[in-house]
Structure 1
Amino acid sequence: YFSIKSCSCFLGSRSSGDLKYHFKQENKTWFEARDACRENYTDLVRITSQQELWNITSITEGKKVWIGLYQNPLQWSNGDESSFQYWDTNEPNNIANDVCVGMYLKNLSDKGDGHPSEVGKWSDFRCNTNHYYFLCYKEKFFLVKENKSWFDAVKYCQEHYTDLVSVTSP
């Protein structure tokens, strides 16, 4: 047996495919943001396509936001490699050991280095010294990889998530 959880919607979130994105208006370091996302959702957002990027930028506001990408080597916080990239001009620059990645949420005439920035472009920043808003994602369904009876699966889901998935059409 397996159990699957679903997630509920609330303000500051948007669904796309099998994921729900959550924009958090709290200033945190990259590691604090990652930990908050993992505690309350699935992880910091990972962006795998141009369409996904535009879906995400439409629910956010502010100047910069942390995303789940970091370098060393370049990968997402869940361990996946990054095939889609949307770096800003002269990025990544690795100045002062910048290894965590943030995304610009508005066009800036000068992002602080004499260069403008566009919505959605990525830049590397110092993980522990910069405090930005952040984006989390949550998978709509969660597979529990444990054998359980139906009753135990229902109890487990209700204690940890919401309920077993309901399949209403073939």
Structure 2
Amino acid sequence: MDRARPEAEDPFGDGFVLLENSQLCFKVFEEVKTPYEARNTCNRLGAKLIVVDTEEKNTAVSEYVKSKLGSNTFLIGLTHKQNRFVWENGNEATVTHWDSGLPRGANRDCVVLYTHNALWYDFVCSFRFRYICEKQLCT
């Protein structure tokens, strides 16, 4: 299981955490923003909304955030476009973690990760949530 070691927490003083086993570097924001606003904030930091496109990354991020901030919902970089879900990196979602009965569609084109159960929920993109940015690597 990926767990951030104490020396991996904010190794460069910019608030990004490095989970070394998954080569994942991310920063959690507790302020709430729309996906558009959150994406802009991530971009200004040289990052993007997080891509949790594997079981390992989804679980590692959920467990880490839950251990630090408790259970909550966080925007991830997955969006419904042209009848498919696409990650911030342009790849189509092949591994998914939807809660039962989801996605619902009907203009619910954005996605959050609920850290309590590591499952995803779709929602209307004008809603505001906490969010997670990801950098390619912290090193």
What's the offset of the Cα at 1:82? 1.3
Runs of 4+ in 1 over 6 A off after TM superposition: none
Distance (Å, rounded) in 1 between the aligned partners of 2:33 and 2:19: 24
Farther-moved stretch of structure 1 (78-87 vs 13-22): 13-22
* Separation in structure 1 between the aligned mates of residue 134 and residue 78 of structure 2, nearest angstrom: 13
The higher relative CO (CA closer than 8 Å, separation ≥ 6) is in: 1
TM-score between both structures, scaled by the size of structure 2: 0.78
Structure showing greater Rg: 1
Cα deviation 1:92-135 (Å, max 9, x = unaligned): 0013x1100111122xxxxxxxxxxxx1100111111x111101
Distance 1:131 1:105, change over 3 A: same
- Scaled by the length of structure 1, what TM-score is found? 0.64
CA RMSD of aligned residues (A): 2.1
The one-letter code matched in structure 2 to 1:38 is N
Where does residue 68 of structure 1 map in the other structure? 77
Instruction: Sort the Cα spacing of 1:82 and 1:64 in 2 relative to 1 into closer, same or farther, 3 A.
Output: same
Q: Give me the whole-angstrom Cα distance separating, in 2, the residues matched to 1:58 and 1:10.
A: 21
Distance 1:120 1:41, change over 3 A: farther
Counterpart AA for 2:18: R
> Normalized per residue, which structure has more strand?
2
Structure 1, gaps ≥5 residues long: 1-6, 107-118, 142-164, 166-170
Partners of 2:85 and 2:112 lie apart in 1 by 13
Q: 1:93 aligns with which of 100, 104, 127?
A: 104
- 5+ residue gaps in structure 2? 1-10
CA distance in 2, matches of 1:103, 1:91: 13
Partner of 1:123: 121
Task: Choose from 103, 110, 115 the match for 1:105.
Answer: 115
Q: Deviations over 1:121-166 (max 9, x none)?
A: 00111111x111101111126xxxxxxxxxxxxxxxxxxxxxxx8x
